[in-house]
Amino acid sequence: MHAIECAEVALEGHDFFLMLGDEMLWGSRHVDMLEEFRRGNTLGVCGICLEVPKEIRKTYSVEFEGSRIIRLEEKPRKPKTNLMGTGHCIFRSEILAYIEVTPISVRGEKELVDLIMCAVKEGRRFEWYPLCDKYINVNVEEDLERARSYYR
What b-and-e string marks burial along 13-40, b requiring 16 or more CB atoms within 10 Å of the CB?
A: eebbebeeeebbbeebbbeebeebbeee
CATH label of the domain that carries residue 119: 3.90.550.10
pLDDT tier, 139 (very low <50, low <70, confident <90, very high otherwise): confident
Mean pLDDT of 3-27: 93
* CA angle at 115 for the pair 113 and 118, rounded to the nearest 5°: 105
Q: Are strands 83-91 and 44-50 parallel, antiparallel or unpaired?
A: antiparallel
Question: Which helix or strand (DSSP H or E) is residue 70 part of?
Answer: strand 68-74
Structural domain including 106 reads 2-151
Give the pLDDT score at 107: 87
**Number of domain units in the chain:** 1
Whether 52 shows a pLDDT value over 80: the answer reads: no
Per-residue pLDDT band for 35 (boundaries 50, 70, 90) equals: very high
* pLDDT digits 0-9 by tens, 80-96: 999 999 999 999 999 99
Q: Is the dihedral of CA 30, 39, 44, 70 positive or negative?
A: negative
User: Residues of the chain with pLDDT > 70: what percent?
Assistant: 100
CA distance 36 to 47: 11
CA-CA-CA-CA torsion sign (86, 88, 94, 95): positive
Residue 21 DSSP label: T
* H or E stretch covering 91: strand 83-91
* pLDDT at residue 53 greater than cutoff 90: no
